Chain A
Amino acid sequence: MAIKILLLTAIGGAAALAQAPKVIIRNAVIMTMAQGQQAPITGYLSVDAGGKILAVAAGEPPANLQAASLVDARGDYMIPGFISAHSHIWQAAYRGLAEDKTTPPWGRDRAKYDSRATPEDTYWFTLYGSLDHLQHGITTVFDFAKGGVGGASAKGDNLAFDKAQFRGKADSGIRFEHAFTPGGGRGNGQVPAPAMTFKESRARLKAFLDWVDAQPPSKSLRVMLSGAVAGDQPYGAAALMKEFHLGNETHFLEAPDNEGQQQASFGAMVASGLMQPDLFFGHFIHTTDYILQQTAKAGAGMSWQPLSNGRLASGVADIPKYLKMGIRVGMGVDGEASADLADPFENMRKGLYAVRDKYEDATVMSPYQVLYLHTMGSADVMLVKDKVGSLEPGKFADFLLVNPGRLGVALEDPYANLVFVAAEGDIDSVWIGGTMEVDHDKVLNHDFPKIQADVYGRVAAENQGKQ
C-alpha cells in the first residue's frame, strides 16, 4: 500500500519538475479525500503558479524543488476546503429572523426586511457572506443569487441584482458557482417580478451569460440555473439547461407543509426531461420511493443542509437510503438566515448525528463518509469534481490547515477526531488556489469587521421605523 502511494506520488513529482512551484506546504498530515487514499499522508503539497496542485507526496519535498514560498504546517491536518452545494450568501445580513417558523412563513417574514435592498446592498451582503463562508473553511460555494429584475434601484437594468452578487463573490476571493433564475424569481419583495415568457427568460439568461464572459478573470467555476418547480416551468428549465449546457439545482421537498402538493409537481419534472445528471435537488426531504427511484435512474443528485433543515423544522432527509439507492449527495450550509452559523464542521455533525439518531445505529454513517459528502460529494453534484473536492495533482489547491492541538490523540481514526471535535477555532488557515485567505480567523484581503459593520448599517437603514 505504502509503495503504491510512493510510486504514484513520484510520478506526480516528476511531472512537476518542469514547473517551479509557487508554494510548498510541508510537514502536514494530508487527508486528500482522493479515491482509495483514506490513510493520511504525512508529507507535503506543492502548488503551481496557476494555483493548481503539482504533487501530494509523503516525506520532505526534494531538495532540488525550489518554491517561491515554503510553509511549515507544523503537523497540522490538511484537508480539502469545504464545498457548500447550497448557499444563499446574501442572507448573511439577515440572521435570527422568524425563529419559530417553517420555510414558507419564514420566507415571508424575511421578505418584510429584505424588500428594500438595492443592488448595491446585495453586493455588500454577498461580499460579507462570502467572507463569512471563507472564515469557516468553505472555499467553494454554489450561490443562489437573490432574485430581482426591477425597481427604481436597478435603474432599468434587469440584471443589476445578479451582477452585483456576482461581483460580490468575485471580489471576496471565494471559488463559486452563481445560480441564476432566468425568470427573475419572486422579484424584489415590494416589486414583484413580472411573469416572463420563455423567450424573455431566455434572452435575460443569454444576456447574463454574455456579461459573465466579459468579466475579468475570477474564481467563477460556472453559471448554473436555479431551478423551477411549478406549472410548466420545468419544460423551460430543461430547454435552457440543454441549450446553454448549464447545471441546475432545484429547491424541492423542503418544508413539511403541503408535502402532497409538492410531490405532485414531480410528474412534470420527469415529463419535461429535467431529470438528468446535470440536475440536483436542494433539500429533498419529503420524498417517496417513486421519486427516489426516478432520481437515481436519471443519475441526478441532491444537496443536504442539516443545520437549516433543523432550524426550520424541515425534517431529516434519509441520506443513508439515498446513497444506497445510488443518488449522488452533496452538502450545503444554506443561507445564514436559516442556518445562521455557516460552520461546515457543525453542519457535518448535525447531519451525522441526526442520521444516527434516526437509525439508532452508529454504523449507518462514519466521520469519513460525512466529510466526503461535504467535499467530494458537493463537488460531484456541482459538476466540478475534476477541479475541486480532493487534494490531487491538477486540481485547485483549496485547503484548510487544521490545528490538531485540541482534537485529542488519534488512537483509532483521525477522521473521527477531526469530524467529532473540530470547529472554527481549530482552523489555522484557509487557502484558495495556493494563496492564504484566512489566517487564524483573520480575513487577509479584506477589512472584514468594517464590511460587517457596513452591512449591519445597511440593514438597519432599510428597516428604520419598522418593528
Chain B
Amino acid sequence: MKRFLLVAALLGVWSAVSAAQAVKLVVRDAKILTMAQGQRAPVAGYISVGTDGRILAVAAGEPPASLNAASVIDAHGDYVTPGFISSHSHVWQAAWRGLAQDKTTPSWGRDLYNDHAIRAMPEDLYWFCLQGSLDHLQHGITSAFDFALNRGAVSNMDSDYDKAQFKAKMDSGIRFEHAYTPTLTPRANNTNASAPVPADPLNLNQARARLKAFLDWAAAQHSPQLLSVMLSGAPAGGQAVGAAILMKEFHLGNQVHYLEAPDNQLQQRANFRSYMKGGLLGPTLFFGHFVHTDDYILQETAKAGAGMSWQPLSNGRLAAGLADIPKYLEMGIRVGMGVDGEASADIADPFENMRMGLYAIRMKYADATVMSPYQVMYLHTMGSADVMGVKDKVGSLEPGKFADLVLINPARLGPVLEDVYANIVFVTGERDIDSVYVGGDLIVEHGKFLHQDFNKVQAESAKRVIAIN
C-alpha cells in the first residue's frame, strides 16, 4: 500500500512535467500493467500521450481536468499492456505457412527457400512482408526484429529486395528493426554453412559499400517506426571477423542464428571459437534460438554481456528442442522472445508463444516455480526490447517511451483471485484483444485494421504464392 502511494507521488511529478506539452491521446479507466521496474501492481488510471507518440504520464485515478487531449478513450476497465515485441521474426514468411510439416530446420529451409520462395521478386516480398507485419499487429505485436529475406548478391548495390521489405513494414504501421545481410552468405539451410570460410577482403569491401548504401537509403526514409537497422548474422569462419568489423564501424547490433537445429550439433558448436576470435561477442550481439548450448558457450556469452532470443512455438514445430531459459537467466544471459516467421511458428500469437515457452519449461523441470506468468510476459516485452538495444524506447509503459499499447478485455479472463498476470498469461487469446496502438495511433480494433484492407492484402499475397508455384 505504501508503495502504491509512492508510485502515485512519482506519477504526479511526471504529470506536472507533461502539462506543458500538447496531448494527442488519453486512455482512461484502464488497469495498466506497465512492466516497469518495481511497478508490478497494476495502476488503475490513465495514460497520456504526446503528439510525438510518446507517453507523457501513467497515473492512478482520473486525468486532471486541465488536461486538454485531442482524443480521450474510455478503456472501460480493460487491461493495458505494452505492445508485445518479437525479437526474432521473418515477416515475409507469413505467405508460406504449413510447409514441410515433418521436417527439422535444414530440410524445412530447403523446402521453403529453395523449392518455393526462391522465385519471389521484390514486389512479391513487399506483399508477403505487408501481410506478415499486419498479422503480427493483429495479434498484439507492435515491434518486430525482422530478418529481411536476403536475395542480394554482393554486387547488387540496389538492395531492392530489402527496400521492398522495409517499405512494407513502414506501410503496415508496425515499429521495427530491419535486419540486413550485407555479405553474400551461404544461407542457414545450406548444410555446409558451418564449414569455415576464409576472410575475403574484396568481399568485405563490397559488403561495406552495399551496407553503407542501404543505411543511407534507410535514413532518407525518415520512418518514425524504424528503431534501427541491424545486421543479420554471419555464419562461420572469416565472416565472423567481417561482421564484427561492420558492427563496430556502423554501430549496428547483430542477431546471429545459432544452435537451432538438432542436426549436426557438434559441428555447430565448433563454430563458437570463430565467433570469439572474430570479436563478435559483445552486448550488441544476440543469438537466435541458442538451443543446443554447452557450459563453455554459455559462460562466454554471459561474460560478454550478449543475449539470445527464444522462439518456443517455432522450436516445437521444427523439433529444434527446448532452450534451458531458467539456466540462461540465472547465468546472467539476457533473454528476449520472438514468434519467428509464420512458416515455422505458423501462428504469430505472442500469448500462445508465452504459454508454449512457459509450459515447456515447467514440463522439463517438473516444477511450477521455475518460471512465472509475470516473468514470461517480461521476456516478451522488456526482455526483447533489451536484446534489441531499444529498452529506452519500448517494452514498458513509462514516460518518454513510445505509446505502443494493447488493450485486453478482461471479460473472459476470469475473476482475479490471486495474480492478475496469471489470468492474463494463462487465458488470453487473440479474441480478447480489444485494440492495438502504435505511438498512440489506433491500428487494430477488434481484429480490424483502420488503415489497411487486410483481406485484400491476404488475397494479393495468396495470389502471388500460387503464381510462383
**Residues of chain A whose beta carbon lies under 8 Å from any beta carbon of chain B:** 92-102, 106, 113, 132, 256, 306-307, 309-316, 336, 340-341, 343, 346, 349-350, 352-354, 356-357, 359-364, 366-367, 405-417, 420-425, 441, 449, 452-453, 456, 459-460, 463, 467
Chain A proximity mask over B399-419: 1 for CB below 8 Å, otherwise 0: 000000000000111111111
- A93: chain B residues within 8 A (beta carbon): 414-415
- B223: chain A residues within 8 A (beta carbon): none
- A352: chain B residues within 8 A (beta carbon): 316-317
Task: Kindly state the separation between the CA atoms of A307 and B360 in the bound complex, as whole angstroms.
Answer: 10
Interchain CB contact under 8 A, A340 and B426: yes
B278 to chain A, nearest CB (A): 29
Candidate in B135, B414, B427, B428 with the most chain A CB atoms within 10 angstroms = B414
A154 to chain B, nearest CB (A): 24
Task: Kindly state the separation between the CA atoms of A136 and B429 in the bound complex, as whole angstroms.
Answer: 11
- B412: chain A residues within 8 A (beta carbon): 132, 452
Stretch at the interface among B14-22, B229-237, B244-252, B362-370: B362-370
The 4 closest A-B pairs by CB, nearest first: A353-B316, A310-B359, A408-B97, A95-B414
Interface residues of B in 248-270 (CB under 8 A from A): 262
Stretch at the interface among B98-106, B206-214, B383-391: B98-106
Interchain CB contact under 8 A, B415 and A459: yes
Interchain CB contact under 8 A, A96 and B426: yes
Interchain CB contact under 8 A, A362 and B346: no
Is B32 among interface residues, defined by CB-CB distance under 8 A? no
Interchain CB contact under 8 A, B414 and A99: no
Task: Kindly state the separation between the CA atoms of A100 and B425 in the bound complex, as whole angstroms.
Answer: 13
Task: Kindly state the separation between the CA atoms of A102 and B370 in the bound complex, as whole angstroms.
Answer: 11
Interchain CB contact under 8 A, B99 and A423: no
Is B319 among interface residues, defined by CB-CB distance under 8 A? yes
Is B431 among interface residues, defined by CB-CB distance under 8 A? yes
**Residues of chain B whose beta carbon lies under 8 Å from any beta carbon of chain A:** 94-104, 108, 116, 135, 262, 312-313, 315-322, 342, 346-347, 349, 352, 355-356, 358-360, 362-363, 365-370, 372-373, 411-419, 421-423, 426-431, 447, 455, 458, 462, 465-466, 469
A20 to chain B, nearest CB (A): 37
B127 to chain A, nearest CB (A): 13
- B431: chain A residues within 8 A (beta carbon): 424-425, 441
Interchain CB contact under 8 A, B101 and A413: yes
Interchain CB contact under 8 A, A459 and B417: yes
Q: A95-B426, A424-B431 known; A316 and B455 CB under 8 Å?
A: no
Interchain CB contact under 8 A, A408 and B413: no
Interchain CB contact under 8 A, B102 and A349: no
Task: Kindly state the separation between the CA atoms of A229 and B138 in the bound complex, as whole angstroms.
Answer: 47
From B101, B363, B413, contact of A313 by CB (8 A): B363
Task: Kindly state the separation between the CA atoms of A113 and B428 in the bound complex, as whole angstroms.
Answer: 22
Interchain CB contact under 8 A, B367 and A99: no
- A414: chain B residues within 8 A (beta carbon): 98
Interchain CB contact under 8 A, B363 and A309: yes
Task: Kindly state the separation between the CA atoms of A306 and B362 in the bound complex, as whole angstroms.
Answer: 12
Task: Kindly state the separation between the CA atoms of A422 and B366 in the bound complex, as whole angstroms.
Answer: 29
Task: Kindly state the separation between the CA atoms of A349 and B360 in the bound complex, as whole angstroms.
Answer: 12
- A357: chain B residues within 8 A (beta carbon): 315-316, 319-322, 360
Closest to A113 in B: B417
Interchain CB contact under 8 A, A406 and B458: yes
Q: A102-B367, A316-B363 known; A310 and B355 CB under 8 Å?
A: yes
Task: Kindly state the separation between the CA atoms of A415 and B372 in the bound complex, as whole angstroms.
Answer: 33
Q: What would 27 A/B residue contacts be, using CB atoms closer than 8 Å?
A: A93-B414, A94-B414, A95-B423, A96-B416, A96-B417, A102-B367, A310-B355, A313-B367, A336-B414, A340-B414, A349-B313, A353-B316, A356-B317, A360-B320, A361-B262, A362-B108, A362-B319, A408-B98, A411-B99, A420-B101, A421-B346, A421-B347, A424-B429, A425-B447, A449-B411, A453-B411, A459-B415
Q: A343-B429, A405-B458 known; A307 and B316 CB under 8 Å?
A: no
Closest to A337 in B: B414
Closest to A413 in B: B101
Interchain CB contact under 8 A, B98 and A416: yes
Task: Kindly state the separation between the CA atoms of A312 and B363 in the bound complex, as whole angstroms.
Answer: 8
Interchain CB contact under 8 A, B413 and A95: yes
Interchain CB contact under 8 A, B96 and A408: yes
Interchain CB contact under 8 A, B319 and A364: yes
Task: Kindly state the separation between the CA atoms of A182 and B126 in the bound complex, as whole angstroms.
Answer: 63
Interchain CB contact under 8 A, B346 and A311: no
- B317: chain A residues within 8 A (beta carbon): 349, 352-353, 356, 362, 420
Task: Kindly state the separation between the CA atoms of A346 and B100 in the bound complex, as whole angstroms.
Answer: 20
B41 to chain A, nearest CB (A): 14
A128 to chain B, nearest CB (A): 10
- A441: chain B residues within 8 A (beta carbon): 431
- B428: chain A residues within 8 A (beta carbon): 341
Task: Kindly state the separation between the CA atoms of A357 and B361 in the bound complex, as whole angstroms.
Answer: 11
- A467: chain B residues within 8 A (beta carbon): 417-418
Task: Kindly state the separation between the CA atoms of A412 and B465 in the bound complex, as whole angstroms.
Answer: 13
Q: A315-B363, A362-B103 known; A413 and B430 CB under 8 Å?
A: no
- A96: chain B residues within 8 A (beta carbon): 413-414, 416-419, 422-423, 426-427
A39 to chain B, nearest CB (A): 16
A426 to chain B, nearest CB (A): 9
Interchain CB contact under 8 A, B318 and A313: no
A361 to chain B, nearest CB (A): 5
- B447: chain A residues within 8 A (beta carbon): 425
- A366: chain B residues within 8 A (beta carbon): 101-102
Interchain CB contact under 8 A, B426 and A407: no
Q: A307-B355, A312-B368 known; A411 and B320 CB under 8 Å?
A: no
From B320, B359, B413, contact of A307 by CB (8 A): B359
Candidate in A96, A367, A405 with the most chain B CB atoms within 10 angstroms = A96
Task: Kindly state the separation between the CA atoms of A405 and B135 in the bound complex, as whole angstroms.
Answer: 12
**Assuming A314-B363, A416-B101, A425-B429, what are 7 further A-B pairs, CB within 8 angstroms?**
A95-B415, A96-B418, A310-B360, A315-B366, A349-B347, A411-B116, A460-B415
A404 to chain B, nearest CB (A): 10
Interchain CB contact under 8 A, A310 and B363: yes
Interchain CB contact under 8 A, A100 and B372: yes
B456 to chain A, nearest CB (A): 12
Task: Kindly state the separation between the CA atoms of A141 and B75 in the bound complex, as whole angstroms.
Answer: 36
From B97, B262, B430, B466, contact of A417 by CB (8 A): B97
Task: Kindly state the separation between the CA atoms of A425 and B95 in the bound complex, as whole angstroms.
Answer: 19
B16 to chain A, nearest CB (A): 35
B354 to chain A, nearest CB (A): 11
From A346, A353, A408, A421, contact of B95 by CB (8 A): A408
Q: A96-B422, A99-B372, A310-B355 known; A417 and B98 CB under 8 Å?
A: yes
- A101: chain B residues within 8 A (beta carbon): 368
B295 to chain A, nearest CB (A): 20
Closest to B428 in A: A341
A84 to chain B, nearest CB (A): 17
Task: Kindly state the separation between the CA atoms of A413 and B99 in the bound complex, as whole angstroms.
Answer: 7
B406 to chain A, nearest CB (A): 15
Candidate in A313, A406, A459 with the most chain B CB atoms within 10 angstroms = A313
- A453: chain B residues within 8 A (beta carbon): 411
- B419: chain A residues within 8 A (beta carbon): 96, 99
Interchain CB contact under 8 A, B98 and A100: no
Interchain CB contact under 8 A, A452 and B411: yes
A421 to chain B, nearest CB (A): 4
- B366: chain A residues within 8 A (beta carbon): 102, 256, 313-315
Interchain CB contact under 8 A, A362 and B104: yes
